[in-house]
Chains A and B, each alone.
Chain A
C-alpha cells in the first residue's frame, strides 16, 4: 500500500465509523432475527396496515410537495429569468431562496401554526372579515395537506436555486431558431425547451422527494406523534420500541434508505444527462 493512502486515513476512519458502519448496521439488522440468523421475515412483517399506511402517507406527502414545489418553483424561476420582469428582482429572490431552503425544522412548523393553525393569522382573518370558518370546510393544518403546504416553504426555494441556472442555460439562439422556423411560443416550449430541461426537472423532483421524505423535525413539531408517517413512526420506534421488535425497526429504517436511495440515484443519473446540454 503506498504511503499516500495514509493521508486519507482520518477521513476514511471517520466516515466509516460514523456514516457507513451505522447505516450498514441497520441494513444488516433488517435481515436478521433477534438471534442473529439471516431472515427475510422482518421485511415481510413491514406489510401491516399501520406500517403500510405510514409509508403510503409519507410517499404521498413527499410526491405532492415535490410536485407542487417543482411547478411553483419553476414558475417563479422562469418569471425572473425568462419573463419580462425587472432584472433587480432576481438577486433578492435567489438570496431569499437560499435562506428559506435552510429554514426548515421546528421553527418552520411554528411559523405555519401561527399563520394557518386554529388561532393563526389567516384563519382568524377569514373568520372575522368574511365569516368563513375554514375548519368547517375540513381544513386542518395537522393533516397531509397541512404538511404539504408547510413543506413547500423549503421545497419551492430549493427548486428555484437548482432550476434557475438550468433556465439560464437555455440559449437565446434556440428560441430564435425555433421562431425563425415558424414555431409559436407554446411549440418552442413543448418541442425544444422542455425536452432539454426534462432531465433537470425530473432530477430535481427526485431530490425534492428525498428531501421531504427524510424530514422529521418539521412533522413532529407540527403534528406531534399524531400523524402516522414513516419518519415519525421510526422516531417513536427508536424512542420506545412501539413496533415491539427491534429488528422490525431496522427493517422500517431500511425501507426509508431504499426509497431515498432510489430517488437520489435517479437524481444523480439525470443530472449527469442534463449537464450534457447545459454547458
Chain B
C-alpha cells in the first residue's frame, strides 16, 4: 500500500475520533465564560440525583456481574465437561441478545411480567429491579459466556475435576475452589465488559422506569448545556478504565502462563 495513502487514511480517521472527544472535553470545561473551569464537573458531581443514579447503576452492575458469573461459569463448565453436544445450541442462544434489539426484549418483559400476569415482577420495586438485572444479564450474556468459555479452553477441565473428585470434593467445591480461580482472569474481563454495558445502559432502565444513570444522563442532556459534556467525559473515562483493566488482567494471565 502506498505510504502516503496509508498515512492519509490514518490521519483522517484519527482526526474523526479525536475531534468529538476534544469537543466534549473543551465544552465540559467552558461553563464559565472566557476561562476554563471545572464548574460543570462540580455541578454534576454535587448533584444528589447524579449520586443516587450513579450508585444505583453501580449496584446494578455489581449484582448483574455476580448473577452472570453464577449463571455462566457452571453452565460453561458443564457444557465443556459433560455435554459437548449441547455446545452449538448454547452458543447460539448466547448470541441471540446481539440479534434481538434490547428494546424488543424489554418490550416483551413489560408485557409478560406486568401486574396482571402470572409473574408480576413489575408490580413492586424489588421485582422491577430484579427484572432489570435479568435484562442486563441477558445483554451481557454474549460477552460473559465467550470470555468464560475461552478461559475454560486453556485449562484441562476433565483432569482437574477427576482429581478434585478423587479427593472427595463436592460439585460446589470444585466450581468455587478449582474452576473459578483458574478462569478468574476470563471472568474478570467478562465482568468489566458487563460493568461498561450496565453503567450507561439507557433503553431498558428508561422503559422499566428505574432511576439509573443512563436515563439521568438523557434527562440532563435534554435540559442543560455544559453538564452533559462533563457526564460524557466521565462516561468515556469509565469505558476506558474498564477496557484498560481487561488489558491489564489479560496481560497478567499471559505472565502466569509463561511461568508454567
Chain A residues near B (Cβ < 8 Å): 4-5, 7-8, 10-11, 14-15, 17-26, 29, 72, 75-76, 78-80, 82-85, 89, 95-96, 98-100, 102-103, 105-116, 119-122, 152-153, 156, 185, 210, 213-214, 216-217, 220-221, 224, 231, 234-235, 238-239, 249, 253, 256-257, 260-261, 264
Q: Closest CB of chain A to B240's CB: distance in Å?
A: 5
Q: Does B163 contact A (CB under 8 A)?
A: no
A84 nearest CB neighbor, chain B only: B3
- Interface hit among B90-98, B151-159, B180-188: B90-98
B107 near A114: Cβ-Cβ < 8 Å: no
- Pick the contact of B6 from A18, A85, A98, A110 — CB < 8 Å? A85
What is the count of residue pairs linking A and B with beta-carbon distances less than 8 angstroms? 251
A14 near B108: Cβ-Cβ < 8 Å: no
Question: Interface readout for B111-128 with A: 1 if CB under 8 Å, 0 if not?
Answer: 110000000000000000
A264 near B232: Cβ-Cβ < 8 Å: no
- Pick the contact of B221 from A20, A26, A89, A221 — CB < 8 Å? A221
Q: Closest CB of chain A to B106's CB: distance in Å?
A: 8
Q: Does B196 contact A (CB under 8 A)?
A: yes
B23 near A114: Cβ-Cβ < 8 Å: yes
A19 near B203: Cβ-Cβ < 8 Å: no
Instruction: Tell me whether chain A's interface is mostly helix, strand or loop, or mixed.
Output: helix
Chain B residues near A (Cβ < 8 Å): 1-3, 5-7, 9-10, 12-13, 16-17, 19-24, 26-28, 71-72, 74-75, 78-79, 82-83, 86, 90, 93, 95-112, 134-135, 137-138, 141, 193, 196-197, 200-203, 207, 214, 217-218, 221-222, 225, 228-229, 231-232, 235-236, 239-240, 242-243, 246-247
Supply 17 A–B pairs (Cβ within 8 Å), ascending by A.
A8-B75, A8-B79, A8-B86, A8-B90, A11-B72, A22-B107, A24-B108, A98-B243, A102-B197, A110-B24, A111-B229, A116-B23, A121-B27, A217-B200, A235-B103, A238-B107, A257-B104
- Pick the contact of A153 from B17, B134, B138, B218 — CB < 8 Å? B17
A10 near B75: Cβ-Cβ < 8 Å: yes
A214 near B102: Cβ-Cβ < 8 Å: yes
Given A14-B137, A106-B200, A217-B202, 19 more A-B residue pairs with CB atoms under 8 Å apart are A7-B74, A7-B83, A18-B137, A23-B104, A76-B9, A85-B6, A99-B243, A105-B200, A107-B231, A110-B217, A112-B20, A114-B24, A115-B19, A121-B26, A217-B201, A234-B103, A253-B103, A257-B100, A260-B99
Q: With A and B bound together, what is the CA distance between A14 and B61 in angstroms? A: 18
A99 contact set on B, CB distance < 8 A:
236, 239-240, 243
A26 nearest CB neighbor, chain B only: B108
Q: With A and B bound together, what is the CA distance between A217 and B95 in angstroms? A: 21
A114 near B229: Cβ-Cβ < 8 Å: yes
A112 contact set on B, CB distance < 8 A:
20, 23
Closest 9 CB pairs of A and B: A22-B108, A83-B6, A115-B23, A214-B101, A217-B202, A114-B27, A107-B235, A110-B232, A121-B23
